[in-house]
Copies of this chain bind each other. A is one copy, B any other.
Amino acid sequence: MAEPARRGVPEATVGRLPAYLRALTACAAQGTTSISSEELAAAAGVRSAQLRKDLSYLGSYGVRGVGYDVERLSSQIAGELGLTQEWPVVIVGLGNLGRALAAYGGFSERGFRVVALVDEDPAVVGRTVQGLTVQTLTQLDEAGTPVAIGVITTPADQAQDVADRLVALGVRSVLNFAPAVLSVPPDVAVRKVDLATELQILAFHEQRRAAAPGPQEVTG
């Protein structure tokens, strides 16, 4: 037991770890020190069998007949997710969305720090937003600020170019809010958040409901 996690945590499991961590943090905040898979699963919105299987990939951190130690499991998951260190983040594109993200407190809350804000618009470059001076990508490059994660919030037609330049800068993880398919080297991870896609998926189910008789749950 308590092994440092065998290699090969399934991608689907990784996708749920943040939810578990959040639920555990909430528990800890209200004083709970121990929690069963049933309770934690409910809090995270999954089935208990799935939670246990997910946790089994990280190692055995529960006590049979009792449950999981909230503190212990939290740090285990945080460690697995690489949240023991702080990851420097750059936001590229300070329009409506970029500014909202820059103003968002949720970054620093856990393992992430916005270290730079980037835009190309001369009207924006040089201004101070959230305590950071907006710079160009070129300036960021010259400054040599280490950056691990790049968040792209530029218009879609700029996204590929921005991604290329971020990669050249050493960024190997990209979170893309622009509705564009990014092409990057194989060692760069890209995740996409797309509002239009989400709405269209909802519309699909909304429309299907109109045709089909019986109601049915459609989540995720």
Contacts and interface: CB of A to CB of B under 8 A. Distances in A.
Given A15-B197, A96-B104, A109-B196, A149 B202 contact: yes
A192 interface: yes
A81 B219 contact: no
Contact of A83 (B101, B186, B188, B203): B203
Contact of A217 (B174, B186, B200): B186
Contacts of A198: 175, 191, 193
A112 interface: yes
Given A106-B195, A197-B19, A206-B172, A44 B181 contact: yes
A168 interface: no
A14 B189 contact: no
Contact of A187 (B23, B99, B215): B215
A104 B95 CA distance: 10
Contact of A202 (B175, B195, B197, B215): B175
A190 B174 CA distance: 26
Given A110-B196, A191-B219, A217-B186, A45 B203 contact: no
B101 A99 contact: no
A99 B99 CA distance: 11
B87 A206 contact: yes
A179 interface: yes
Nearest to A80: B204
Nearest to A9: B204
A127 interface: no
A204 B57 CA distance: 14
Contacts of A53: none
A207 to B, nearest CB: 3
Interface of A: 7, 11, 14-15, 17-19, 21-23, 43-45, 80-83, 85, 87, 89, 96-97, 99-101, 103-104, 106-107, 109-112, 148-149, 172-175, 179, 181, 186-209, 212, 215-220
